[in-house]
């Protein structure tokens, strides 16, 4: 007879790019590793957590406070109240990209994504953007799809070839782009102007919004052109990645 032995739950292997535990996350931040997003137990306290939050603030790392049950869904290892996901890419600065494009004699073509949170949509958008010759994609620091392994896979490698910029305030980015000579084109149902009626030439920034809420009012106000895609069928909208392809290829057509 064998003695009954307690059955311990098997430790789940960590997904690619996932870090957990105070020391590993703090050391990753100090070493310059790019953290895409962090989840922190809401009741976390102590000297190490103070250092963690200080680094989050200094490095502008997006994080959310969650109950321990949420962290346990990521891993059943000793996470110490912190789970973070690293980014497979380095983020760029849009204010460094625009002057460089002009210096190289290129006509800037920028894509701004307002609160697009679906990972596969983001990956598909990046793939089409790269094919269209978009020079950079701008996303908000918070409320954007993570640049995860799924996003990389869906982009078919495009996220390795096109700069992605994160911004605290998309309105300020749009204002900067406008002052830098770019036309701001917003794809929205809140207009009577069809996409093919707008004259889109020269430097341009295309704004695409979430399927649920569209583009924020603040960004719509700063747009030079508000355009919509003609819809002939019974369904009233396109998937955002498909809509983005339609708009960006019309920009390509007009610029050609």
For position 37, what pLDDT does the model report?
A: 84
User: Contact 216/256 with Cβ under 8 angstroms?
Assistant: no
Residue 51 parent element (H or E): helix 47-59
How many CA atoms does the CB half-sphere of 192 hold within 13 Å? 0
For position 199, what pLDDT does the model report?
A: 92
User: Contact 227/186 with Cβ under 8 angstroms?
Assistant: yes
Strand partners, 40: 65, 82
Question: 94-255: what fold?
Answer: Alpha/beta knot (3.40.1280)
Share of the chain above pLDDT 70, in %: 93
Strands 35-41 and 63-66: parallel
Query: What would the pLDDT profile of 155-197 be if each residue is shown by its tens digit?
Result: 998 999 999 999 989 999 999 999 999 999 999 998 999 999 9
* Dist. CA 60–CA 64, nearest whole Å: 13
Which residue has better confidence, 84 or 8?
A: 84
- Range(s) of the chain covered by CATH 3.30.1330.30: 18-86
- Range(s) of the chain covered by CATH 3.40.1280.10: 94-255
Residue 136 binned pLDDT confidence (cut-offs 50, 70, 90): very high
Q: Which residue has the tokens 């000793």?
A: 78
CATH number at 18-86:
3.30.1330.30
* Dist. CA 108–CA 99, nearest whole Å: 9
For position 173, what pLDDT does the model report?
A: 97
User: Contact 136/162 with Cβ under 8 angstroms?
Assistant: yes
Query: What would the pLDDT profile of 191-224 be if each residue is shown by its tens digit?
Result: 999 999 999 989 999 999 988 888 999 999 999 9
């Amino acid at each position: 007879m064998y003695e009954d032995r307690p059955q311990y739950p098997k430790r789940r292997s960590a997904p690619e790019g996932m870090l957990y535990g105070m020391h590993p996350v703090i050391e990753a931040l100090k070493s310059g590793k790019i953290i895409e997003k962090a989840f922190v137990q809401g009741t976390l306290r102590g000297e190490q957590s103070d250092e963690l939050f200080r680094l989050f603030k200094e490095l502008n790392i997006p994080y959310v406070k969650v109950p321990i049950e949420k962290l346990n869904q990521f891993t059943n290892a000793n996470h110490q109240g912190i789970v973070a996901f690293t980014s497979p890419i380095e983020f760029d600065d849009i204010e460094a990209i625009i002057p460089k494009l002009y210096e190289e004699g290129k006509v800037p073509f920028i894509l701004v994504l307002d609160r697009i949170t679906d990972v596969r949509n983001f990956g598909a958008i990046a793939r089409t953007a790269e094919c269209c010759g978009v020079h950079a994609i701008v996303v908000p620091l918070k409320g954007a799809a993570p640049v995860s392994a799924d996003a990389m896979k869906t982009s078919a490698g495009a996220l390795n070839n096109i700069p992605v910029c994160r911004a605290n305030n998309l309105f300020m980015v749009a204002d900067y782009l406008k002052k830098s000579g770019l036309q701001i084109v917003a794809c929205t149902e809140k207009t009577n102007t069809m996409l093919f009626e707008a004259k889109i030439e020269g430097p341009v920034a295309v704004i695409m919004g979430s399927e649920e809420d569209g583009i924020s009012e603040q960004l719509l106000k700063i747009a030079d052109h508000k355009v919509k895609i003609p819809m002939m069928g019974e369904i009233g909208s396109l998937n955002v990645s498909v809509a983005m392809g339609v708009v960006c290829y019309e920009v390509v057509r007009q610029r050609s």
